[in-house]
């Protein structure tokens, strides 16, 4: 399921391979021709023991399609978005396999809204979520209030907002507290317009003053 999700995400990954230090150890022994008939090289033995002690540390490698050949990436070579997608895919595959709860803070971090919508759809579908596992997440992406492929990403009763008051306390309230519009409800636009609350009060003047002050400080430093 994880590999299928990565392929479907169109990030260029064609396959995922899991390697272990044990495999590295066997390759090391073959390269150094360590066997029972030959006297043991102390450095080779130490290296072998080190690799065996680290056998639980597995390593992921990713195959990417290229113009002429397949290129192998290590996990650290992947973008932050691909790593985020991988983590979410692994967690989702685990939770969907059993009746469980998956919680994600800032699910939209480094991910395209369409990918997030597809991930949410796995929990919305009875086919991929027959056991009724749940996904609870926070997000600042207003696009998730709308539709993808003509279908709502979230139902009205699944959407909750948070708003901070002047004392710094946050309150939580559902979209279902607001009556739907009879002429159609563009939830994304209404949210960004402040109809549901939960949006920051931004001051253009404050931003301009802050930038102007920064420019004055920079000019003083140069002077």
For the segment 47-75, the average pLDDT, to the nearest whole number, is 73
Residues 29-38 pLDDT 10s? 455 544 445 5
Name 188's Cβ contacts closer than 8 Å, sequence gap at least 6.
142, 143, 145, 146
For the segment 34-55, the average pLDDT, to the nearest whole number, is 57
What is the percentage of the chain residues whose pLDDT exceeds 70?
76
Q: pLDDT value at position 60?
A: 80
Q: pLDDT value at position 171?
A: 92
The overall longest dimension of the chain from CA atoms, in Å, is: 85
Helices (H), the chain: 2-8, 21-32, 42-53, 80-97, 113-124, 187-192, 204-222
Q: If you average pLDDT over every residue of the chain, what do you get?
A: 80
Does pTM surpass 0.85? no
Whether 104 shows a pLDDT value over 80: the answer reads yes
| Of 212, 196, 195, nearest in space to 204 by CA | 212
User: What does each C-alpha distance from 13 to 69, 79, 90, 116 come to in angstroms?
Assistant: 13, 12, 15, 18
């Amino acid at each position: 399921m994880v590999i299928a999700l990565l392929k479907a995400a169109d990030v260029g990954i064609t396959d995922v391979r899991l390697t272990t230090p044990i495999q590295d150890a066997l390759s090391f022994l073959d390269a150094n021709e360590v066997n029972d008939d030959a006297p043991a090289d102390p450095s080779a033995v130490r290296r072998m023991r080190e690799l065996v002690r680290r056998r639980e540390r597995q390593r992921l490698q990713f195959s990417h399609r290229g113009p002429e050949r397949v290129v192998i990436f290590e996990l650290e070579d992947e973008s932050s978005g691909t790593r985020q997608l991988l983590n979410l895919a692994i967690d989702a595959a685990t939770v969907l396999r059993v009746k469980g709860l998956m919680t994600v803070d800032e699910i939209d971090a480094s991910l395209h809204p369409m990918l997030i919508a597809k991930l949410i759809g796995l929990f919305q579908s009875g086919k991929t979520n027959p056991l009724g596992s749940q996904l609870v997440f926070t997000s600042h992406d207003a696009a998730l209030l709308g539709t993808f492929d003509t279908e709502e990403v979230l139902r009205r009763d699944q959407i909750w907002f948070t708003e901070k008051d002047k004392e710094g306390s946050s309150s939580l309230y559902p979209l279902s507290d607001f009556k739907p519009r009879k002429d159609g409800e563009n939830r994304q636009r209404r949210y960004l317009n402040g109809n549901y609350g939960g949006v920051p009060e931004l001051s253009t003047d404050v931003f301009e003053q802050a930038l102007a002050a920064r420019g004055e400080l920079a000019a003083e430093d140069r002077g």
